[in-house]
Amino acid sequence: MTQQTPSTLQTLVASGVLLIGVGLAAGAVSIPSAAGYGGVGPNFLPWLVSIALAVCGGFMLWESRTGGFRAMDDADAANDEIKPCWSGFAWVSAGLLANAALITTLGFILSCTLCFVLAVQGLRGAENKPDLRPAKLAKDTLIGMAIAAPVYWMFTKFLAINLPGLTLTGWL
């Protein structure tokens, strides 16, 4: 395998950001554009994010091709100080994937609570302070529910946006 130059790696990163923006735009095409309250339809945010990613990816690509990212720290100094935390990445990724997989089964509140608990473990692991004590997990679960429940109720009761619930009552 050949050694990649920083400019080549930066071009790959920029191209990836640009491709994600294009991919999101391709997905946004399939979302109906019927305007709701305030004249904004459900495809507004995906289009906004895809345009922002495409613009950022374009600027990154331009900068990488015209001399590289100029405001970066020295790569050798950064590599000595910062090490990736793969266990933290795994915990946070597991939380996001579990949320996506279980939201229709467990409902919004419980799946988001699980996502919160797993993400907190990942962030603690990144600080080298993992804590799997039952009392700490219970506290994280209560905090996650205290965040997820009002969000669920605001969306379902006040904004009349249907989110998956555990029961048919609309309160859990």
The tens-digit pLDDT sequence of the chain (172 residues) is: 455 566 788 899 999 999 999 999 998 888 777 766 666 677 788 889 999 999 999 999 998 888 777 766 665 555 556 677 889 999 999 999 999 998 888 888 999 999 999 999 999 988 888 888 999 999 999 999 999 999 988 888 777 777 777 666 555 5
Strands (DSSP E) found in 14-158: none
Domain-located, residue 109: yes
Total tally of structural domains belonging to the chain: 2
Q: Is the dihedral of CA 125, 128, 134, 140 positive or negative?
A: negative
Same domain, 100 and 154: yes
Same domain, 68 and 100: no
Instruction: Indicate whether 35 and 100 sit together in one domain.
Output: no
Could you list the residue range(s) of the whole structural domain that residue 107 is in? Answer: 86-158
Co-location of 96 and 154 in the same domain: yes
| Contact call for residues 51 and 22 (beta carbons, < 8 A) | no
How far is it, in rounded angstroms, from Cα 87 to Cα 96? Answer: 14
Cα–Cα distance measured from residue 21 to residue 52, given in angstroms and rounded to the nearest whole number: 8
Same structural domain for residues 38 and 57?
yes
Gap between the Cα atoms of 99 and 135, Å rounded: 23
User: Does any domain span residue 166?
Assistant: no
